[in-house]
Structure 1
Amino acid sequence: MTAPAPRQIVVRVDPDGAITAETRGMLGPSCLDSIALLEDLLEATTVHSTFTADYDRRTDAIDTEVRHELRQQ
């Protein structure tokens, strides 16, 4: 089994002051917890958000991990 990707939040600030943030290595809805934290830290309000491919991978990754753990028992 491969090690899970490190959990990261990548924040970019454009020359016009627009802020873009992207989560990496966070599967499923756990990434949504980052929105409020970023809004507080950046004193900003979310205008637009979309899900990354990691959001949709949550079920496959969790199912695979559970099956792997059951086989080892």
Structure 2
Amino acid sequence: MAGNKQIIIAIDKDGYVKAEVSGVPGPDCKKYLSLIEEIVNGKATDETLTAEYYQQSTSSQNDQTSLNQQNG
């Protein structure tokens, strides 16, 4: 469905976090990074932009971000 925004956060057994934002046109997905960092109490360490990121803003895009959790 067009217009649905979705954030998927996966945490593996070692505490490695991977987050994916979809349904947000163009670079606007980066606005969600601070929210994701707050949710997992971590900082972004790696970012992968998919081909959809570069498509017209009327289409969905994905932004996958890896974060390091801060323990304590």
TM-score (norm 1): 0.69
Structure with greater strand share of residues: 2
TM-score (norm 2): 0.70
The partner residue of 2:38 within 35, 40, 46 is 40
Identity value in percent = 29
Distance, in Å, in 2 between the alignment partners of 1:21 and 1:5 is 19
Flag the structure with larger Rg. Answer: 1
Long gaps (5+) in structure 1: 63-73
Aligned pair count? 59
Q: Look up the equivalent residue of 1:9 and give its one-letter code.
A: I
Long gaps (5+) in structure 2: 60-72
Return the structure number with greater relative CO, CA threshold 8 A, min gap 6.
Answer: 2
- CA-based RMSD: 1.8
Residues 14-60 of structure 1: CA distance to partner in whole angstroms, max 9, x if unpaired? Answer: 1111000011111101100011111112110101011123311135x
Q: Which residue of 2 aligns with 1:49?
A: 47
Moved over 3 A (4+): none
Alpha carbons 1:7, 1:24 under 8 Å: kept: yes
